[in-house]
Amino acid sequence: MKVWKRIDPTVITRVGWRTVVTKTFRMPDDQQLEFQIFNPEDTQNAGCVALTADKQVIVARQYRPGPEKIMDEIAGGGVETGEDPRVAAIRELREETGYRPGKTVPLGVVYKDAYNNSTWHYYLCTDCELTAKGPRLENGEHVEVELLGIDDFIDNARQGRMTDTEAVFLAYDQLRKIQKQ
């Protein structure tokens, strides 16, 4: 199938602290159409499914202003300029939950939305330990750290109680394996 040809101009619109990018494409039928795509181009995010040595999943419980609900999220957030996504995932885990991982393996890379410029890098962190310093939350972050059994964590994802369901998919077979060990 043919890819669309992106053509000038690109228009950047800021609304508060968010960015909308208007991209124009020439489509396979030669029609030109504009699409508004959320977030700056090449936005990179990283997050981790993190477990303690006794197989408890470390969850960052927080209110989310899109759904307007308390969600049981995995730790994660934006990759800083020049930062390795793996380093960003581990940093976000430390900042949001106070835990540091023993071992970190990549789970995969996902585009969550057809109209969003963001890429998400996911990792599985095992043998996580609570550091002496604890969480270091940014302004506007209100996170409660919860430890959940693997079944409860998977059940949360199935019941729509987290916005990172795709990370649970990527970790699913390994979580089931860890349960049996």
Torsion of CA 96, 100, 106, 107, to 10 degrees: -50
Q: Which of 54, 65, 81, 132 is in the footprint of a second copy by CB under 8 A? A: 65
Instruction: Annotate 48-91 with three-state secondary structure.
Output: EEEEECCCCEEEEEEEECCCCEEEEECEEEECCCCCCHHHHHHH
Which C-beta is closer to a second copy: that of 32 or that of 102? 32
- How many chain residues touch a second copy (CB under 8 A)? 63
| Of residues 18 and 103, the one with the C-beta less far from a second copy | 18
Of all helices (H) and strands (E), which one includes residue 130?
Answer: strand 119-130
Should residue 116 be labelled a site residue for a second copy when binding is judged by CB under 8 A? yes
Options 34, 54, 138, 180; binder of a second copy; rule CB under 8 A: 34
Sites of contact with a second copy (CB under 8 A): 1-4, 6, 13, 15-18, 20, 22-23, 25, 27-29, 31, 33-38, 61-71, 73, 108-119, 139-140, 142, 144, 157-160, 163, 165-166, 168-170, 172
